[in-house]
Amino acid sequence: MLGEQIIKGMAVTARNFFGSYVSKERLTTVQYPEEHLVPKENTRQFPFLVYDGDDWEKGLRCVACQICEKECPPKCIYIVKSKDKKPDYKGQPQLYPLTFDIDISVCMSCQICVEVCPFESIKMDTKFELSTGDRFGGLLISKDKLAKSNGYYQRIHPQDAADSDAVIAAEKAKAEAKAKAAAEAKAKAATAAMAAPPAAAPAPPANPGQKS
């Protein structure tokens, strides 16, 4: 019948109209500045530096190895090494970066710096509302603004942060195991050395078989 499809079409649009007041599925607009879409796990924008603990200078994981600076394709990372060393999470003294600048107008978010960092210290952030009116240096982010806590990292990338923490914990456990083994070996060597010379000093011809 002529006109039947028109009525059906109008029923569909009416459903859309009334549904848009009650269900989210029929009004999918996210009104941007007031509401934000929930970002996915893999969202990445620009890098940031992770620090453990509360003090960002003391807990900064970066050791200024400059691998990310060398691997960065558009060369947007600028690192100046420090002259002194401070201990890292494994207890070993490491250098730290005096200056760590990333030029985010050049950065292309390729994540290569994250992939090559051996210390789990540079990761990708999700913030993108970084426009500034300052043309001449507003987009050159320095170390103090790049450093964000591990807790923040766990909030924005839960799965990645968990993996990263697991790696660090594994490394720490390995280092501790090695240290313990080394300490045990040293203790054994020390006791052996302590036992041997007193035995060797009084009667070298007495117990030739006790030298071990």
Partner 1 sequence: MFNSLDQIFVTALHWLVSFVPEALRPLASSLVCIAFILSVFPGVFAITTIFERKGIGRIQNRYGPNRVGIPFTKIRLCGFGQFIPDGIKSLTKEDIVPRAADKIVHFLAPVVMLIPVMLAYAVLPFGKNMSVTDYDAGLLFFFAVGGAVELSVFMAGWSSRNKYSLLGAMRAIAQMVSYEIPLILSAVTVVMIVGSLNLSEIVKHQNQYTFGIAHWFVFTPWGLAGFILFFIASLAESNRTPFDLPEAESEIIAGYFTEYSGFKFALFFLGEYLGMFAIIGLGITLFLGGWTSPVSFLTWIPSYVWFLSKLMAIVFVFIWIRATLPRLRMDQLMNFAWKFMLPLALINILVAGIWHYLGADWQRWPVCAAIIFGAYAVLGRGLMHNQKLGKRIYRYAE
State whether residue 67 is helix, strand or coil: helix
User: Could you give the maximum distance between any two Cα atoms of the chain, in Å?
Assistant: 123
- Residue 6 lies near partner 1 (rule: CB under 8 A): yes
Token pair of 187, please?
Answer: 């203790």
Q: How far apart are CA 63 and CA 37, in angstroms?
A: 35
Name the residue nearer to partner 1 (CB basis): 9 or 151. Answer: 9
Residue of 55, 69, 54, 132 whose CA lies nearest to 102: 69
Q: How far apart are CA 207 and CA 199, in angstroms?
A: 8
**CB 60: neighbour CB atoms within 10 A?**
23
- Residue 132 lies near partner 1 (rule: CB under 8 A): no
- Residue 2 lies near partner 1 (rule: CB under 8 A): yes
Name the residue nearer to partner 1 (CB basis): 14 or 196. Answer: 14
Name the residue nearer to partner 1 (CB basis): 22 or 206. Answer: 22
Q: What amino acid occupies position 15?
A: R
Residue from 22, 29, 72, 138 in contact with partner 1 (CB under 8 A)? 29
State whether residue 158 is helix, strand or coil: helix
Residues 32-51 that bind partner 1 (CB under 8 A): none
* Nearest distance, CB of residue 7 and partner 1, angstroms: 10
* Selected range binding partner 1 among 13-21, 43-51, 183-191, 198-206, rule: CB under 8 A: 13-21
The residues binding partner 1 (CB under 8 A) are 1-3, 6, 9-10, 12-14, 16-17, 20-21, 26-29, 31
